[in-house]
Amino acid sequence: MQKNIVKNIRAVSIKQDRRYNKTMELDLQNKKTAEFALSKLFENWKNKDFKKLNKYVQKTWLLNGDKGEFKRMFGMFDLMDFYIYDKEVITDCRHEVDFRADIVFQNKKRSMYGKANTICEKALRTPSPNGKWGVNPISLLRWVKQK
């Protein structure tokens, strides 16, 4: 099955997950999905609303870092656009979501590709499929530049 690219928060894409041999849905409108959390994080980063962005960061990570850290790590990048196009279920509480971020850094536009590590936590350090999805922001730094 051909992959559909999902741009921003408006679309739903269905793909075949070969690992689990079942159909997976990328649903950017369902608040209870890993991809929704990532899309909202990107949306707030694009708008430079770092305070609101913290609502979509992994709970445990927020405990260990201060809330201004994301702005220090990513404020130098202007996020122009983003795409979410795949996800891999690692466990029921951890999904890796593939993305492309079009950024401007030092007056140069670049397309960066990566996998966002998203964790579903019920409480701090308590992964649970009944919790809330959040993005580990450090995983966003493992991107690679388009070749």
pTM of the complete model? 0.81
Structure tokens at 103: 């950024």
N-to-C CA span, the chain = 25
Q: How far apart are CA 92 and CA 90, in angstroms?
A: 7
Tens-digit pLDDT profile for residues 15-35 = 433 444 344 568 888 999 999
**Residue pair 49/67 in contact by the 8 Å Cβ criterion:** no
Tens-digit pLDDT profile for residues 85-140 = 889 999 999 999 999 999 999 999 999 999 999 999 999 899 999 999 999 998 99
All domains of the chain, ordered by start, with CATH? 15-145 (3.10.450.100)
Q: What angle do CA 12, 13, 17 make, to 5 degrees?
A: 140
64 burial class (0-12, 13-18, 19+ CB within 10 angstroms)?
Answer: exposed
98 closest CA partner among 86, 90, 89, 110: 86
Report long-range pairs for 122-128 (Cβ below 8 Å, ≥24 apart).
123/59, 124/59, 124/60, 124/63, 125/60, 125/63, 127/91, 127/93, 127/94, 128/93
